[in-house]
Amino acid sequence: MSDQSRAPETPSLHQRHRAVTPAWLATYYSEPIELTHGEGRHVWDSAGNRYLDFFGGILTTMTAHALPEVTKAVAEQAGRIIHSSTLYLSSGMVELAEQIAGLSGIPDAKVFFTTSGTEANDAALLLATAYRHSNQVLAMRNSYHGRSFTTIGITGNGAWSPTSLSPLQTLYVHGGVRTRGPFAHLSDADFIAACTQDLEDLLGQVGGNVAALIAEPIQGVGGFTHGPDGLFAAFKRVLDRHGILWISDEVQTGWGRTGDHFWGWQAHAEAGPPDILTFAKGIGNGLAMGGVVARAEVMDCLDANSISTFGGSPVTTAGALANLRHLLEHDLQGNARRTGALLVKRLLAADLPVVREVRGKGLMIGVELVDAAGEPSPAAAAATLEHARELGLLIGKGGLAGNVLRVAPPLSLTEGEAVEGADLLVEALRRAQAQTFGPEPRP
């Protein structure tokens, strides 16, 4: 056969992914995975492999893959009308807003629906800066809040902040990371006191009017790390004195994921609810939905029109309502508390030198990895991901140094699956440890 007559080789999906930005998937697995379907807590790839999904819970799948109630609600609504809820009344949008406002803990709350967490935080910052007539904001070091011009500007984690230009002036506050930084050696009470004093000093230096503090109760992309309970209550007392709003970014911590509480801010509840709360990701169980909850006085401060064509559309609200109903009726918050505790216990019992810390709340568990010298080991995290995949387990990673494994299964995880997943993860960690420490781990 001549060269001309040879059929050109068909490029793989991986090669064709060049056409898409970002190329993020190249950093996750040496051979990227194409997921084709899911059920419960499991997903399948295009090669027919089945995985226990220990990460989808944060990305999209709050309750379970292919939850029949969500599928039915979405299909029924799509069969009736796929439209925008912006110009016309929509019973689904109103019902969901009433439910979320009631659950939020914010008095006299109103909800604005968006299609993502980025757009939700953007809208929250728009509200706060308009309400306070200021473009100065406070954000936490190591934080992540999205990828729009405004949210990149306030994101404290440099790896996710590809431009230093910003429409906002941002000051960064200590407190999101308990085990690193100048206050790491302090007791919880002293840590809170030191971070609060640092905030006071910062505000003293600024002099002017600051609009808001935006913070994740548990930093997600930052590696499932958080300050002591009560930290934001102490912050809020300072903020209140200056009239500064508190925006709680609950994109990862909402809907009972942290087990003990429905929202992350409730671990700091002593000083009352935040002024503004943002949500996204899991509420749509995979459908694009986010939103902002705020006191009516704050929400109503914009006097020009401001709408989102697809925010709160009939199809996404139908799916989100079914998802939320399932979550509440099956007490998935309680389930997160129980199965999360089981998972942590099992991971700790393995007592592996490669693991520096197992932390987190409910089904939001971070596993921080180190090398034989005790230094952060992104290599061990990357190796654990690959071994876990071979064993049939999907997990996430994050943290400033890329050395933290993130475990966040759908909230309907069974006890059997918690034990199975923990054992697979321990085995993957053992293999990664042998690879990165050498065959003889330090005693």
Please report, as ranges, the residues that interact with ligand PMP according to CB under 6 A: 116-118, 121, 144-146, 216, 220-221, 249, 251-252, 280, 290
Nearest CA among 147, 108, 150 for reference residue 125: 150
Q: List, in sequence order, every beta strand (DSSP E) within 133-257.
A: 136-140, 169-173, 212-215, 245-249
* Shortest distance (Å) from residue 114 CB to ligand PMP: 9
* Residue 2 to residues 5, 7, 9, 215, Cα–Cα distance (Å): 5, 10, 15, 64
Give the three-class secondary structure for 246.
strand
Task: Provide, rounded to whole angstroms, the least separation between the CB of residue 218 and ligand PMP.
Answer: 9
- Cβ proximity to ligand PMP, 90 vs 116, nearer residue: 116
Sheet holding 404-407, edge to edge: 355-361, 364-369, 404-407, 396-398
Taking the C-alpha atoms of residue 151 and residue 161, their distance in angstroms, rounded to an integer, is 9
Using the minimum distance from each CB to ligand PMP, give the nearer residue, 38 or 220: 220
State the nearest-atom distance from the C-beta of 115 to ligand PMP, in Å. 8
Nearer to ligand PMP, 113 or 144 (CB): 144
Question: Could you tell me the smallest distance in angstroms from the CB atom of residue 362 to ligand PMP?
Answer: 16
Q: How far is the CB of 109 from ligand PMP (least distance, A)?
A: 20
Q: How far is the CB of 286 from ligand PMP (least distance, A)?
A: 12
Closest-CB residue for ligand PMP?
117
Residue carrying the six token digits 């200021």: 134
CA distances from 434 to 87, 352, 371, 429 (A): 60, 11, 11, 9
User: Which one, of 331, 337, 328, 326, lies nearest residue 415 by Cα?
Assistant: 337
Which residue number, 144 or 235, has a Cβ lying nearer to ligand PMP? 144
Helix (H) / strand (E) element for 146: namely: none
Q: Considering the complex, state which of residue 92 and residue 282 has its C-beta at the smaller distance from ligand PMP.
A: 282
User: What sign does the dihedral 269-206-242-127 (CA atoms) show?
Assistant: negative
Closest approach of ligand PMP to the CB of residue 160, in Å: 9
Nearest residue to 361 via CA among 274, 264, 291 = 264
Nearer Cβ to ligand PMP (40/274):
274
Q: Which is nearer to ligand PMP, 40 or 156 (CB)?
A: 156
